Structures are given as C-alpha cells and as structure tokens.
C-alpha cells in the first residue's frame, strides 16, 4: 500500500511550486489573523530554509511521507517545531495539489512557448538566407510546382506560430487559483482568496470549490497543445529524414545532429530527427492517458488523479528535447541547393505556369488550357527535355496561340518569381513575410 499510494517519486518535481503556494497561503493566514503573525513569520522563514535544503540536496523519495506536500511540511516541522502545524489551516492537499499542478503547468507552457520562439527565429534566419533558393514543391510526394526553400521553411514558422498561440490561450484559461477551496466544499475561515491568487500570479480565484479540486482541464489542454506541436515537429523531422536520404540529397546534417553506423562507416543517420518523430507518438499517448484517467471520475477528488502528473511530466520533457533538437538541426543544416534545383526542374513542374499563361495572355478557358498543357508535357517527355527547352515551333505545333512570351514563365526561376499573390512563394513575398515575422517577434519581446 505504501508503494502504490506514494507519489513522491514523481511529484517532487513540483517542490518549488508547493513551497510558493505555501508562502502565499501563510502570508494570507497571518494577514487575516487566522494564525498569529509571529507564527506566520516563523513559518515563512522556515519555508525558505526548506527551499534551500531542496535546492542544495534534492528531494528524497521518502515513501512514508507519501507526497511532496507531506514531505515539505515534515521538513518545516523539523526546522521550526510545532508551529509548522498551523500552515495547513484552511487548506487541504486537494486544493494544494491543484494549485501546485497549475503553477507547474503554467511554467511548462512558458518554457515551451519560449523554446518555440527560438525555433521560429532559427527558421526565420534560414528562410531569409534562402528566399531565392529554388526547390520542388510536392503534393503526394510528387514534384508539383517549384517553390523556394525560404517559403517552405516559413510554412513551419506559421505552424509553430499557431502552436504558440494555442499555448497562450491555454495559459490564459487556466490562470485561476484553486487555493482556498480546501477539500471540496470551501472553508469557514475568513480567507482572502484574491490575495493568494494575486501573490501567485493568477488572475483571480476559481469560482467553484468542487470544480477547483477536481479540474484537470488545464493539464489536458496543455497536453493537447503539446501533442499538436509534436505533430508539427514530427512533420519537420520527417522532411529532414527524407531530404537527408541519398535519393533526395537535399540536406547534409551536421555531425552534431546525426550518428554513424556500427558496421557501415559511410552512413550518416538522421537519428535526432527520427527520435523527434518518435516522440510525437509518446506525447500523443500522454494526452490519451490523462483523458482516459479523467473520463469517468465523479466529483470531487479521486486517487486516480494522482496519475495525472506522470504523463504531463513525460510530455514536457520530450517536447523540450524535440524542440531543442529541431532548432539545432535547422540552425546547422547544410542545404544542397544544386540538388534541390535539379529536382525542381524535373517532373515538368512549370506545367501549371504554361496553363496559367494561356489563360492570362491568350484568353484560353482554363480547362482547354489544361488539355493543351497536357499535350505539351507529353511532347517534352517524348523528347526527353524540359518544357522550357521546347522551341517555339514545337510549341506552336501544339497550339498556335502560344508565342515567345511564354518563355518568361517556363523556367523554375520565372515560375517562383511569378507567384506574387499574398502568401505566395515569390522571393519578394518571402522576404516580406520574414520581415513581418521579425517585426512581430520584436513586438513580443517588448
């Protein structure tokens, strides 16, 4: 029973949050006259000593004391004696752990958002560097239309911007303080819950004591954000895995972010990217784990909820590692621009540009232009050349409405330069996008 009941091996990670909550609580108790002011002062000083002990020596796994709350109070009693017992006046471990966990998740959100911001900065730097670098754009992993590498990287910038937005939304929603809800019904003591909420950086107290001690929506929402972020990280990781393969050869990963083979000395394996890809499954599993734990629990607190923290802690650790790894890979990758350009020039990737030209310059209905372009692709394929290598006579033989101006759109450079619609791949648009993103990042830092 001691082993299954104890949570100290994992909830000791919340010791800073637990002591912060206790400091806010005891300050309120003293100010409200619920406990003598001298005891409040003695407890506060004692909590500082406990914090110093944990900082220096770590938190022991004392199963007899069950959890971080009991361990901290026991250490406090060791230091200041019986007056430590006044600390738990007007609170329960139920509202205590709900408060600690919110504080911890709030810190985790801040850390994830900051790390994603650093990844976005790395993407911005590389996108600006490669605003003109041509590569193939894919659909179904088939060459579709030429784009720029800068445009491709900025797509991930946008994904991570949404991830950060979701994290900020989750943080705002969770930022209410359960402390003072006690076990489940509130308390008869004259608490100042607004004061403890403010002291801990919350926007205010929670409004229903039953919900306060049983709510884990904030943890589920954090895991939802983490899972969505992990999916985006996994997609970027998969790009690096594919691009680093010999058939593609679009990128060379640094030794720092790749490994060798135990028997094949020529190998450079994208292990970091593959692990990021794998971590997405574990993070999504953490979300499912907590949702299943919570799905059938009646109000208010049940011991099942002790299992809320391990999946959150695991997801936090894996997410931090994944973001750091992808940031390092983006920063250090050597892109093989010659291979990217060569791939963009295969598969007749400017065929759509020909169809658009026929619509725009020759007044041909798009569906007819589509058929003309199909015949043009077939002619180039039969000749074993690119579309822009067909001479004007060959083009006119397919449709007399084609003239020499068509060569302005048939090369991959002309194609990307023509995609000037807002959000398009034209180098000028990519630079505008990077500049706007940099301004937004600067505003965030102010």
Residue 92: the pLDDT is 97
- 256 vs 136, residue with greater confidence: 136
The phi-psi region of residue 57 (left if phi > 0; otherwise alpha if psi is between -120 and 50; otherwise beta) is alpha
pLDDT classification of 349: cutoffs 50, 70, 90: confident
| Cα-based angle 58, 60, 62 (whole degrees, multiple of 5) | 165
What pLDDT score was predicted for residue 262? 54
261 counts as catalytic = yes
Residue 127 pLDDT more than 70?
A: yes
267 pLDDT tier (thresholds 50, 70, 90): low
Q: What would the mean pLDDT of 366-377 be, rounded to a whole number?
A: 93
| Distance, CA of 428 to CA of 433 (rounded, Å) | 9
pTM: 0.92
The three-state secondary structure class of 144 is strand
The band of 446, judged by pLDDT with boundaries at 50, 70 and 90, is low
Maximal C-alpha separation, the chain: 100
Torsion angles phi and psi, residue 141, rounded to 5: 60, 25
User: What pLDDT band is residue 128 in, cutting at 50, 70 and 90?
Assistant: very high
Q: With beta carbons less than 8 A apart as the criterion, state whether 67 and 108 touch.
A: no
Q: Which of 359, 415, 416, 361 is nearest to 387 (CA)?
A: 415
Cβ 44 vs Cβ 27: under 8 Å = yes
Contact between 390 and 379 under an 8 Å Cβ cutoff? The reply is yes
pLDDT at 11: 94
The pLDDT score that the predictor gives to residue 264 is: 56
Residue tagged active-site, from 245, 261, 302, 371: 261
Residues, the chain: 446
What value, to the nearest 5°, has the Cα angle with vertex 100 and ends 99 and 103? 85
pLDDT confidence of residue 260: 61
Tell me which residue of 379, 360, 347 sits closest to 418, measured CA to CA: 360
Q: What is the mean predicted confidence (pLDDT) over 32-53?
A: 98
- Locate 91 and state its tokens: 């609170």
Query: Quick check: is 411 catalytic?
Result: no
**Rounded to whole angstroms, how far apart are CA atoms 373 and 353?**
9
Which H helix or E strand runs over 89?
none
Q: What is the mean pLDDT of the chain?
A: 94
Share of the chain above pLDDT 90, in %: 85
Band of residue 387 on the pLDDT scale cut at 50, 70, 90: confident
Question: For 157-174, how does the pLDDT look when each residue is reduced to its tens digit (9 = 90+)?
Answer: 999 999 999 999 999 999
């Amino acid at each position: 029973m001691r082993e299954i009941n104890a949570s100290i091996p994992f909830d000791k990670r919340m010791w800073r949050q637990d002591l912060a909550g206790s400091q806010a609580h005891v300050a309120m108790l003293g100010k409200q006259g619920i406990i003598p002011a001298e005891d409040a002062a003695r407890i506060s000083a004692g909590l500082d000593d406990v914090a110093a002990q944990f900082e220096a020596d770590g938190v022991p796994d004392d199963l007899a004391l069950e959890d971080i709350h009991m361990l901290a109070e026991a250490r406090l009693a060791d230091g200041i004696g019986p007056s430590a017992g006044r600390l738990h006046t007007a609170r329960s471990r139920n509202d205590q752990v709900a408060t600690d966990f919110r504080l911890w998740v709030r810190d985790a959100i801040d850390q994830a958002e900051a790390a994603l911001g650093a990844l976005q900065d790395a993407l911005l730097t590389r996108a600006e560097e490669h605003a003109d670098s041509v590569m193939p754009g894919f659909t179904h992993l088939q060459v579709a239309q030429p784009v720029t590498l800068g445009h491709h990287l900025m797509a991930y910038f946008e994904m991570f911007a949404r991830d950060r937005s979701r994290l900020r939304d989750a943080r705002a929603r969770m930022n209410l303080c359960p402390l003072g809800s006690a076990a489940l019904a509130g308390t008869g003591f004259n608490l100042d819950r607004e004061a403890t909420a403010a002291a801990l950086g919350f926007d205010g107290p929670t409004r229903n004591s039953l919900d306060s001690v049983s709510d884990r929506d904030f943890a589920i929402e954090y895991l939802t954000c983490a899972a969505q972020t992990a999916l985006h990280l996994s997609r970027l990781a998969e790009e690096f895995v594919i691009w680093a393969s010999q058939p593609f050869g679009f990128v060379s990963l640094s030794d720092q972010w790749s490994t060798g083979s135990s028997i094949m000395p020529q190998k450079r394996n994208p292990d970091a990217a593959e692990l990021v890809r794998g971590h997405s499954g574990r993070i999504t599993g953490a979300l499912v784990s907590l949702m299943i734990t919570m799905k059938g629990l009646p109000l208010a607190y049940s011991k099942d909820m002790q299992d809320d923290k391990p999946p959150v802690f695991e997801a936090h650790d894996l997410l931090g590692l994944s973001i750091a790894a992808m940031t390092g890979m983006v920063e250090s990758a050597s892109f093989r621009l010659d291979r990217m350009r060569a791939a963009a020039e295969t598969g007749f990737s400017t065929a759509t540009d020909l169809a658009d030209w026929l619509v725009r310059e020759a007044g041909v209905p798009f569906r007819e232009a589509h058929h003309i372009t199909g015949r043009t692709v077939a002619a180039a394929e039969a000749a074993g050349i690119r579309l822009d290598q067909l001479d004007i006579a060959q083009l006119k033989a397919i449709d007399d409405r084609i003239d020499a101006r068509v060569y302005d759109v048939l090369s991959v450079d002309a194609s990307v330069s023509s995609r000037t619609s807002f959000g398009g791949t034209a180098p000028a648009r990519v630079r505008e996008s990077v500049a706007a993103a940099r301004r937004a990042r600067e505003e965030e830092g102010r």
